Amino acid sequence: MKQLAFSCLTALLVCACDAPQQALTDQPVLPDRPNILWLVAEDLSPIIPAFGDDTVATPNLDRLAAEGVRYTRVFSTSGVCAPSRAALATGMYQNRIGAQHMRTTNVSGFGVDGLIPYEAVPPPFVKMHSQYFREAGYYTSNNAKEDYQFRKAVTAWDDSSRTAHWRNRGPDQPFFSVFNFNITHESQIWVQAENPLRVPEDLEVPIPPYLPDTAVAQRDVRQVYSNIVAMDEQVGQILEELEQDGLLESTVIFWYSDHGGPLPRQKRLLYDAGLQVPMIIRYPDRWRAGELDDQLISFVDFKSTALSLAGIEPPEYVDGRAFAGEFQSSESRLYIHAAADRFDRQYDTIRAVRDDRFKYLRNYHPEQGYYLPLTYREQMPIMQELLRLRDQNGLTEAQSQWFRENKPAEELFDTLADPHELTNLALDPAYSDKLLELRAELDRWLSGFDDKGMMPEPDLINEIWPGMEQPVTSSPTASRQYDRVVLSSLTPGANIGYQMLGPAEEFGSTWQVYTEPLELLPGMRLIAIAHRIGYQPSSMIELDAIAR
C-alpha cells in the first residue's frame, strides 16, 4: 500500500518556491463589481490531482486548476469546522472573539459542568463578511451550512437555506454566494459506507504512517477518495450552472476546504494534516492560469481578500490581510497562527505558529496526551481499528505517538523534511534559533489580544452572557429627520434590518440592511428589527407613514 502522497505535495511546494514570485502589484483584470463565489468542501487535505495526489480523478477541479491559481500554503485557524468558520465570517481569530471551542451553540450531551449552549459575542464593531457585500449592493446567498459559533445576524444574508442560489437575485445584481459540500465530511466515512464506493473496491490508496495499513483502514481511506469523486461532481454541477447563466467570466471562483483531513490524527489537531487546505482561485481573465502560488495564507485573510476583489475596502479591525484585489496588502505574510481548545466534552489548549517551513506548537497541558476520546469520532471504523491495535500493543512507533500519556510542552517540526510531523526538533540544538524565533512569534501573536481560550469556559460564558442569560438587542427606535425616518438601537454594534411593505403585505424572511435614513411614503409600513451578533434579536417595531 502506497504512503500518503505528501511527497507529491512537497514536490509542488518545491516547484512553487523555485518559480518566479508574482509582484504584489500584479493584479487580475476584473469587471466592475465582479461576482464572488465560494465553493467549500469539508474536512479535506490537499489530496487531489491538482496538488499532486493522483489516486482518483477530479476533472472539474482539474479544470479549475488549469484555468486558475493553485495556492499551496493555505491554513485554517483550527483543525475543526465551527471555529474555522467563525474566522472566515469575521476575519478574526476565533480565540480572540470567544469562538474557539467546538462547538458553542450545541453542547447537549457533553456533560461539562457549568456549560450551557451559548453564542460567541464578537466586539460590537464586527459584521459578517456577507453583510459588507449586501451594503455594497450585492446579493448574498449561502447554501446552506452556517456553523459560525453564533446565530447569523438577521442582516447577514439575502438567503441562507438549502434553496439559496445566486439565481434568486435581482436583474444584473452582482452576488456573493457560498455553496458547501458536506459529502467529504468526516461523518460521511461511516454514513456512505452503506452505499457502493465510487472507486474500485481494490483501489490502491495512500495510508499515512500514523494510521494502520489494514483492510479496515484501507476501506475507510477508499471511502475518503470515493467522497472526493462525488464532491468533484457536485462542484461540476455548480460550474455548469454558472456557465449556463453566462457568468463564468464575471465571477471570481474560490474552491477550498474548511480545514484539513477527516481521518484520525488529522481533524481537530494543529498538525498540517488538520490545518492545511487546498485552494484554487479562478479569476475571470484566467490570470496566472495553471500557476502555483506558495505565499502563506490564513483563513483570517479570506474576508479581506473577497471584499478587496469586489473593490470594497476591508474593515480595519480584521486580523487578516487581502492577498489579492484592489486593497491587496503590500507586505507578504510571514507566519500563520492556529489554536485548539475544547472538542465536544474534552478540553485541551494548544497554540501554533508556522512559517513557510517550520511549525511550532505550545502545549498548555503537557500532562495529558494528544488523543482525546470522542464518541463522535469513534463511529469511524479506522478509529476503532486504531483503538483495537493500541489495546493489543499492535501499533508501530509512529502510530503510538498519538496515544502517549503526555506530550512535550513545546514541539518544533520541519514540515518539508517531516511532512507528517513525527520528529520533534524542539530539543535539538541545531534548531535552537528557529525554536527561539517561532516561540517569540507566538508570544507576539498572543500578546496582541485577550485569548479567550485561557479562561475556564463557564467564566467566559458568564462574561459575555452575564448571569448565564443571553443579552437581548434593544429594539430599534425611529425618529424623523426632514422627510425621512432614522432608525437606531441603544445596543452598541446592533445591525438593523427593515422591510418596506404595502398596507396588507405580509413581512418575509429577508431583512434589508439599514444604512441610511429611509423615505416612508403614505400608505406604506416600515417594519424594523435589531440584532447584535451573539445577542438575541430584538422584537420588531412597525411604523405607518405619517402624511406630510
- Could you give all domains of the chain from N- to C-terminal order, each with its CATH number? 477-544 (2.60.40)
Strand, coil or helix: what is 290? coil
CA angle 368, 371, 372 (to 5 degrees): 85
Report pLDDT for 540.
96
pLDDT digits (tens, 9 = 90+) for 25-79: 588 999 999 999 999 999 999 999 999 999 999 999 999 999 999 999 999 999 9
Cell numbers for 275, please give them. 490545518
Segment 112-129 shows an average pLDDT of 95
Q: Which amino acid is at 466?
A: P
Q: Closest by alpha carbon to 4, among 339, 276, 336?
A: 276
Q: What is the mean pLDDT of residues 170-195?
A: 97
In this predicted model, what pLDDT tens digit does every residue of 301-315 receive, in sequence order?
999 999 999 999 999
Q: What is the pLDDT at residue 251?
A: 98
- Would you please indicate which residues are annotated as catalytic (active-site) residues? 81
- The phi, psi pair for 176, rounded to 5°, reads -120, 110
In this prediction, residue 548 carries a pLDDT of 39
Q: What is the 3-state secondary structure (H, E, C) of 312-348?
A: CCCCCCCCCCCCCCCCCCCCCCCCEEEEECCECCECC
Distances from the Cα of 346 to the Cα of 87, 155, 298, 325, 457, angstroms: 22, 34, 26, 41, 12
CA 503 to chain centre: 43
pLDDT tier at 155, thresholds 50, 70, 90: very high
Higher pLDDT, 472 or 522: 472
Q: Is the pLDDT of residue 20 over 50?
A: no
Q: What grid cell was written down for 245?
A: 447563466
Phi, psi of 24 (to 5 degrees): -65, -25
pLDDT score at 210? 98
Q: CA 512 to CA 124: how far, in whole Å? A: 20
Rounded CA Rg of the chain: 24
Question: Which runs of E-coded beta strand occur in 100-158?
Answer: 139-143
Whole-angstrom Cα distance, residue 411 to residue 387?
Answer: 25
Cell of 66: 488549469
Cell of 348: 485541551
pLDDT of residue 543: 85
pLDDT at 25: 54
Mean pLDDT of 190-198: 97
Question: What is residue 26's predicted lDDT score, i.e. its pLDDT?
Answer: 84
CA distances for 159 relative to 141, 149, 162, 224, angstroms: 5, 19, 9, 31
Is it true that the peptide bond before 504 is cis, omega within 30 degrees of 0? no
The predicted model gives 384-392 an average pLDDT of: 98
Quick one: which of 256, 297, 308 has its CA closest to 81?
A: 256
Confidence check: pLDDT of 24 > 70 = no
**pLDDT score at 279:** 98
Task: Count Cβ neighbours within 10 Å for each residue of 428-439 and write b for 16 or more, e otherwise.
Answer: eeebeebbebbb
Average pLDDT, the chain: 94
Give the three-state DSSP class for 361: strand
Q: What is the DSSP letter of 475?
A: P
Phi/psi region, residue 33 (left: phi>0; alpha: psi -120 to 50; beta: rest), is left
Beta bridge partners of 280: 70, 255
- Name the residue with cell 484592489: 326
The average pLDDT across 203-221 equals: 98
Distances (CA, A) of 98 to 333, 459, 494: 24, 11, 18
Q: Over pLDDT 90: what percentage of the chain? A: 91
Q: pLDDT digits over 336-351, tens only?
A: 999 999 999 999 999 9
- The C-alpha atoms of residue 154 and residue 159 are separated, in whole angstroms, by 10
Measured CA to CA, the distance from residue 83 to residue 255 in angstroms comes to: 19
Calculate mean pLDDT across residues 230-259: 98
DSSP state for residue 20 in the 8-state scheme: P
| Strand, coil or helix: 397 | helix
3: pLDDT strictly greater than 80: no
Tell me which residue of 507, 536, 533, 535 sits closest to 153, measured CA to CA. 533
In terms of C-beta density within 10 A (0-12 exposed, 13-18 middle, 19 or more buried), how is residue 508 classed? exposed
107 pLDDT band (50/70/90 cuts)? confident
DSSP 418: -
Query: What mean pLDDT do residues 195-212 have?
Result: 98
Which residues neighbour 210 within 8 Å (Cβ) at sequence distance 6 or greater?
Answer: 265, 398, 399, 401, 402, 420, 422
Band of pLDDT at residue 21, cut at 50, 70 and 90: very low
Beta bridge partners of 179: 39, 143
Whether 19 has a pLDDT exceeding 90, the answer reads: no
Helix intervals (H) in 42-119: 59-67, 81-90
State yes or no: pLDDT of 175 exceeds 90: yes
3-state secondary structure of 29: coil
Residue 11 has pLDDT above 90, yes or no: no
CB 364, CB 349: distance < 8 Å: yes
Task: Report the 10 Å Cβ neighbour count for 163.
Answer: 10
Which comes out higher in pLDDT, residue 92 or 1? 92
* β-strand pairing of 175-181 with 276-282: unpaired
Band (pLDDT 50/70/90 cuts) for residue 81 is very high
Q: What is the pTM of this model?
A: 0.95
- Residue 547: what pLDDT? 41
Contact predicate 494/511, CB 8 Å: no
Mean pLDDT of 526-538: 98
